[in-house]
Amino acid sequence: MTSTSPTRLRQLIAVVAIVAVAWNLIGNLVLPGVWYVPANMAVAGGLLVFARWAGLGWDDLGLEWRWVGRGLVIGMGVALLIAAVIAIGVAIPSFRTFFDSDDVATATSGERWYTALVRIPVGTAVFEEVLFRSVLLGALLGLTSVKRAVVISAAAFGLWHVVPGWEAGQGNAAWEVAGLIVITVMITTVAGVGFALLRMWSNSIVAPILAHIATNSFAYVGAVVVLDLVD
């Protein structure tokens, strides 16, 4: 960990919290879809600039060049495991209902390609890994224990999904929406722990980025495949 002022780290964490809350609402409820990727990249870049100002080095942020190879190897290995699990789920008829998605069903072919190859990998995975596993986790590691830093960053990642969970539940009864939100937060918190551990194991955010892309994009592709199988 690069030597830096605890005060600046606390300021950085406060900025991350404010940006996360504000941007979660803006990105999910206000931002036009066409701006999703560039706007998220702009926010990620701004957070990295502020993190550097706070004194975090590239190594602290999981962005040190010398660890990219290790991140690629570990990330690709995990991505292959995720791909295998999703493929098994698609292959078993009783599991295919887990891949049901109105968004996938109503999307055009071009929209599906864009979502799987650009929107999810860049606008979601890269952005969220910079936010939670690079900047937030990097700042927390400079202030508290590894265990606490992982738990806090994972919990923040879980809460980040409250609005998406609420959106996904629209049209259902209030208790069903509440249940969906709770389940979504729990699952993404666990995922946040896994991504944080990958980041620390590899010393690079490349590994959790690849695992995150695999989780989201492969699941999306699985939903497309299931639709084709049903048709």
Number of C-beta neighbours around residue 75 at 10 A: 23
CB of 157 within 8 A of CB of 134?
no
**Residue 162: pLDDT above 90?**
yes
Q: Report pLDDT for 3.
A: 67
Would you say how long the chain is, in residues?
Answer: 231
**Residue 63: pLDDT above 70?**
yes
- Give Cα separations from 189 to 59, 122, 162 (angstroms): 24, 21, 11
- Closest among 160, 135, 154, 162 to 192, alpha carbons compared: 154
Residue 57 DSSP class? -
Q: Report pLDDT for 160.
A: 96
CB of 227 within 8 A of CB of 104?
yes
Mean pLDDT across the stretch 217-224? 94
Residues 103-121: pLDDT tens digits?
Answer: 888 899 999 999 999 999 9
Q: Report pLDDT for 76.
A: 97
Residue 19 CA to residue 79 CA, distance in Å, equals 29
**Residue 2: pLDDT above 70?**
no
Residues 16-55: pLDDT tens digits?
Answer: 999 999 999 999 899 999 999 999 999 999 999 999 999 9
Residues 165-174: pLDDT tens digits?
Answer: 898 888 788 8
For tokens 């259902």, the residue is 172
Residue 37 CA to residue 120 CA, distance in Å, equals 9
Residue 86 CA to residue 10 CA, distance in Å, equals 39
CB of 138 within 8 A of CB of 62?
yes
Chain centroid, CA 231 distance in Å: 31
Q: Report pLDDT for 60.
A: 96
Q: What is the pTM of this model?
A: 0.94
CB of 42 within 8 A of CB of 131?
no
CB of 93 within 8 A of CB of 174?
no
If you average pLDDT over every residue of the chain, what do you get?
A: 93
Percent of the chain with pLDDT over 90: 82
Q: Report pLDDT for 167.
A: 85
The crossing angle, in degrees rounded to 10, of helices 68-91 and 174-202 is 140
**Residue 125: pLDDT above 90?**
yes
Percent of the chain with pLDDT over 70: 98
Q: Report pLDDT for 172.
A: 80
Q: Report pLDDT for 216.
A: 96
